[in-house]
C-alpha cells in the first residue's frame, strides 16, 4: 500500500490525465507492479479509468467531531469547562461550531486552535466563533505546517484556482443556495446559465461541491459556502441575489398556489396529486426560499419576502413549522408596515398570530390580532366592499383565540360581529361568502354553548349545516369535511338539549358522509355510534 497525500502540488493540474501528470505516472506504477495498491488525496480525478475508485471524505459523526475538537483546544480552561458538560450538553453547546465547520476534521482542528475567550461566556464564545468562521479557521501560529494545513481559506483557494471562469462564477453564485441546487430544476437555467450543470460537475470533482445522486442536488459545506460568499461579494453580489430572490418568489407563488387549491369533482385525484407535488417541491427548496426572504428583508425591502411568505403559508402549516412561520410572517408584517402597506402588514400579522397560537404563545398572538383587526377596521370603514372580508376573517381568528384564552363573552361578541359581516357580504356575493358565513356560524355556535346557551348554539349550527349542504351537493370533496365537523357539533348541542332523535340524525348523516370515530363499530342493522369525543369537545369547521 502506497499512501500519497496532496498530489495536486506535485504536478501541473492541466496535465493531470496526461502522461506527465499524476495519472500517467501512477498508471505506469500499477502496470509495473500489479499487486500495488494506492491511497491518494487529490482535488481532481487522476485519470486512471477503471483502476481509479473515487472516495469522498464524509463529515465526522457528532461524537467523533466532539472528541477531535476537545483534543485540539489549546486553552486548558476552555477545554476543561467543555469536557465537564457531558455528551448531550456538548452537542448543544458545540452545535453552532459543528454545523459551521460541517464536522470536517481540518476545520474542527483549526477552529479549536483559535478558541480563546475574551471575558465571554461559553455560549457567547461558541456563537461568535461560528459566526466568524473563515477567520477562525486560520491559525498563523502553525508556521511549521503548509498554508493549506493552517488555513481553510488557503486550502479552498488551491481548489478554486483550478476552476474554469464559468465554474468560478457558478461556485460563487451557489453560496446563495443553502438548500443546494436541484439538477433537474429547469428555472435555474435562466438564473445560473445553460451550462451550469457542467460547471457544477467540475466544482464537484474538485471537492468544492457535493453531489447527492439520489436527491440530484449539489450542496456546499458551511466553510466552503462562507468562502464562496466572499467570492460572490467581490463580483456580482446583491445584483445576483436580487435575481435569485425573484426566482424564488415566483417559485413560491406557483407551488404555493397549487398547494392551496381544493380538490373537487372529477379532478379530485389530479388535484390531490398536484398538491402532493407542490408540497414536495416547497419542502425540497425550503432552505433556499427562506434564505431569499431573509436577504430581501435584510435589504429593507420586503416585497419579494412577502411573496415568498405568502407562497409558503399553507406549506408551513401543513408541516407544522410554526416557529419558522411565526418569525417569517412577523418580519414580513413589520417590513410591510415600514412601507406603509397597511393591508400587507395586517394580513401577515394575522398569519404570525395564528402560528403563535399553535405554539401556545396566545397573549402575543392576541396583541398581533387586535392590531390587525384595528387596521382592517380602518380600511373597511373607507372601502367596505374591498376590505370587509379581511375584517371578518380577522375577527373570526380573534374570537377563537379569545375563547382559548378563557374569555367567552368577548369571544361571542367578536364572532357575532364576524357573522354579521359575512352575512352582509353573502347577500351580494353568495357563492363567495356563504361558506365563510357557515364557518363563522360554527365558531359562534361553539362559543354560545360555552356560555350555557345550547338552544341558540343549536339554531346557529343548524344554519351552518344548511349552508354546507348546499355547497356539498355541488362540490362534495371540497365541503365534505366541513359538513361532517358541523354535523358533529350540531349533534353535541342536540344531545345537550336531550333531543336524542335530532342528535342521532346528525350523527347518521355524518356517518353516511364517511365519518368514522376512532373506536366506532356499526352494527349489522346500519346503526350509528354514540356521540364521539371530537363532537363532545366541539371543533372548528
Residues 124 and 206 in one domain: no
pLDDT at 266 over 90: no
Query: Could you tell me if 323 and 217 are in contact, meaning their C-beta atoms sit under 8 angstroms apart?
Result: no
User: Of 177, 212, 236, which residue constitutes the final position of a domain?
Assistant: 236
In this structure, the answer to whether residues 69 and 42 fall within a common structural domain is: no
Does this model's pTM top 0.85?
A: no
Judgement on whether residues 475 and 516 belong to the same structural domain of the protein: yes
Residue 188 sits in the same domain as residue 135: no
User: How far is it, in rounded angstroms, from Cα 526 to Cα 503?
Assistant: 16
Q: Note the pLDDT of residue 522.
A: 37
Same domain assignment for residues 114 and 22: no
Mean of pLDDT values over 295-324: 95
Using CB atoms within 10 A of its CB, is residue 59 exposed (0-12), middle (13-18) or buried (19+)?
middle
Check pLDDT > 80 for residue 202.
yes
Residue 35 lies in a domain: yes
Select from 207, 236, 265 the last residue of a domain: 236
Q: Is residue 309 part of a domain?
A: no
At 129-166, the pLDDT tens digits run 655 555 554 545 544 445 555 456 777 887 888 899 99
For residues 111 and 129, the answer to whether their CB atoms sit within 8 Å is yes
Q: Give domain status of residue 467, yes or no.
A: yes
Task: Return the closest-CA partner of residue 517 out of 501, 504, 535.
Answer: 535
| CA distance readout (Å), 259 to 164, 252, 263, 318, 371 | 40, 10, 10, 10, 29
Q: How confident is the model at residue 43 (pLDDT cuts 50, 70, 90)?
A: low
pLDDT, residue 518, reads 60
**540 and 437 part of one domain:** yes
Which range is least confidently modeled, 80-89, 297-306, 400-409, 456-465?
80-89
Kindly give, in sequence order, each residue whose CB lies less than 8 Å from that of residue 172, ignoring residues fewer than 6 positions away. 228, 229, 231, 232, 235, 236
Q: How many domains does the chain have?
A: 4
Range name among 14-23, 212-221, 248-257, 330-339 with the lowest pLDDT average: 14-23
Q: For residue 143, tell me if it sits in a domain.
A: yes
Q: Is the pLDDT higher at 510 or at 273?
A: 510
Does residue 182 lie in a domain region?
A: yes
Note the pLDDT of residue 92: 83
Whether 470 and 448 have beta carbons less than 8 Å apart is answered as no
User: In the structure, what pLDDT confidence band is assigned to residue 300 with cuts at 50, 70 and 90?
Assistant: very high
Where is the domain boundary, 174, 206, 236?
236
In 251-401, at which residue ranges do the beta strands (DSSP E only) sit? none
**DSSP state, 151?**
B
Q: Which pLDDT belongs to residue 312?
A: 96
* Tens digits of residue pLDDT in 362-415: 999 999 999 999 999 999 999 999 999 999 999 999 999 999 999 999 999 999
Same domain, 39 and 125: no
Indicate if 481 and 528 belong to the same structural domain: yes
Secondary structure class of 138 (helix, strand, coil): strand
Residue 491 lies in a domain: yes
Q: Is residue 188 part of a domain?
A: yes
- Locate 44 and state its grid cell: 481532481
Q: Greater confidence, 474 or 75?
A: 474
pLDDT(430) > 70 = yes
Helix 286-298 and helix 322-338: axis angle, to 10°?
A: 30
Is pLDDT above 60 for 540? no
Of all helices (H) and strands (E), which one includes residue 141? none
More confident residue, 17 or 64: 64
Query: What does the chain come to in residues?
Result: 541
- Predicted local distance difference test score (pLDDT) of residue 191: 96
Tell me the pLDDT of the chain averaged across its residues. 84
State whether 41 and 138 are in the same domain: no
The percent of residues above 70 in pLDDT, for the chain, comes to 82
Identify whether residues 437 and 541 lie together within a single domain: yes
Q: Which residue has the higher pLDDT, 59 or 137?
A: 59
Pair 31, 93 in one domain = no
> Does the pLDDT at position 12 exceed 80?
no
Given this model, what pLDDT does residue 496 score?
A: 87
Domain boundaries, position 190: 162-236
CATH number reported for the structural domain that contains residue 448 in this entry:
1.25.40
pLDDT tops 90 at residue 310: yes
Residues 84 and 131 in one domain: yes
Query: Is 494 a member of any domain?
Result: yes
Judge whether residue 272 has pLDDT over 50.
yes
Distances (CA, A) of 406 to 306, 363, 402, 412, 538: 33, 12, 6, 12, 15
Amino acid at each position: 500500500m502506497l499512501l500519497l497525500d496532496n498530489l495536486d502540488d506535485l504536478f501541473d493540474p492541466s496535465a493531470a490525465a496526461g502522461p506527465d501528470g499524476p495519472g500517467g505516472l501512477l498508471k505506469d506504477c500499477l502496470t509495473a507492479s500489479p499487486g500495488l495498491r494506492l491511497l491518494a488525496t487529490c482535488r481532481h480525478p487522476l485519470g486512471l479509468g477503471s483502476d481509479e475508485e473515487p472516495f469522498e471524505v464524509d463529515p465526522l459523526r457528532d461524537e467523533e467531531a466532539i472528541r477531535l475538537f476537545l483534543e485540539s483546544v489549546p486553552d486548558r480552561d476552555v477545554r476543561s469547562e467543555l469536557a465537564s458538560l457531558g455528551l448531550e450538553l456538548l452537542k448543544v453547546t458545540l452545535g453552532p461550531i459543528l454545523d459551521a465547520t460541517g464536522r470536517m476534521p481540518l476545520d474542527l482542528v483549526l477552529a479549536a486552535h483559535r478558541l480563546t475567550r475574551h471575558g465571554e461566556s461559553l455560549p457567547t464564545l461558541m456563537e461568535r466563533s461560528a459566526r466568524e468562521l473563515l477567520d477562525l479557521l486560520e491559525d498563523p501560529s502553525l508556521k511549521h505546517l503548509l498554508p493549506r494545513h493552517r488555513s481553510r481559506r488557503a486550502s479552498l483557494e488551491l481548489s478554486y484556482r483550478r476552476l474554469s471562469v464559468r465554474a468560478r462564477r457558478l461556485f460563487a453564485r451557489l453560496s446563495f443556495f443553502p438548500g443546494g441546487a436541484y439538477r433537474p430544476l429547469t428555472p435555474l437555467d435562466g438564473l445560473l446559465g445553460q451550462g451550469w450543470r457542467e460547471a457544477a460537475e467540475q466544482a464537484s470533482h474538485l471537492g468544492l461541491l457535493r453531489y447527492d445522486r439520489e436527491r440530484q442536488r449539489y450542496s456546499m459545506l458551511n466553510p466552503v459556502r462562507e468562502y464562496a460568499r466572499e467570492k460572490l461579494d467581490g463580483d456580482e453580489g446583491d445584483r445576483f441575489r436580487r435575481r435569485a430572490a425573484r426566482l424564488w418568489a415566483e417559485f413560491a407563488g406557483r407551488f404555493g398556489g397549487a398547494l392551496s387549491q381544493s380538490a373537487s369533482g372529477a379532478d379530485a385525484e389530479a388535484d390531490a396529486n398536484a398538491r402532493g407535488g407542490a408540497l414536495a417541491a416547497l419542502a425540497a427548496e425550503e432552505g433556499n426560499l427562506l434564505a431569499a426572504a431573509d436577504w430581501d428583508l435584510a435589504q429593507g425591502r420586503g416585497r419579494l419576502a412577502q411573496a415568498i411568505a405568502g407562497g409558503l403559508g399553507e406549506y408551513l402549516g401543513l408541516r407544522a413549522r410554526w416557529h419558522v412561520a411565526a418569525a417569517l410572517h412577523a418580519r414580513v408584517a413589520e417590513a410591510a408596515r415600514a412601507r406603509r402597506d397597511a393591508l400587507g402588514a395586517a394580513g401577515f400579522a394575522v398569519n404570525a398570530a395564528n402560528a403563535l397560537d399553535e405554539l401556545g404563545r396566545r397573549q402575543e398572538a392576541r396583541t398581533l390580532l387586535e392590531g390587525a383587526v384595528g387596521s382592517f377596521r380602518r380600511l373597511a370603514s373607507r372601502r367596505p366592499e374591498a376590505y370587509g372580508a379581511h375584517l371578518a376573517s380577522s375577527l373570526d381568528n380573534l374570537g377563537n383565540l379569545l375563547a382559548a384564552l378563557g374569555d367567552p363573552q368577548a369571544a361571542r361578541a367578536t364572532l357575532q360581529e364576524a357573522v354579521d359581516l359575512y352575512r352582509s357580504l353573502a347577500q351580494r356575493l353568495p357563492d363567495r361568502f356563504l361558506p365563510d358565513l357557515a364557518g363563522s356560524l360554527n365558531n359562534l355556535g361553539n362559543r354560545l354553548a360555552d356560555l350555557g346557551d345550547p338552544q341558540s348554539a343549536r339554531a346557529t349550527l343548524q344554519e351552518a349545516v344548511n349552508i354546507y349542504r348546499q355547497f356539498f351537493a355541488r362540490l362534495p370533496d371540497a365541503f365534505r369535511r366541513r359538513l361532517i365537523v358541523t354535523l358533529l357539533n350540531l349533534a353535541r348541542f342536540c344531545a345537550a338539549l336531550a333531543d336524542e332523535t335530532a342528535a342521532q340524525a346528525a350523527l347518521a348523516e355524518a356517518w353516511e358522509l364517511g365519518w368514522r370515530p376512532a373506536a366506532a363499530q356499526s352494527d349489522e342493522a346500519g346503526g350509528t355510534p354514540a356521540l364521539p369525543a371530537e363532537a363532545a369537545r366541539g371543533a372548528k369547521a
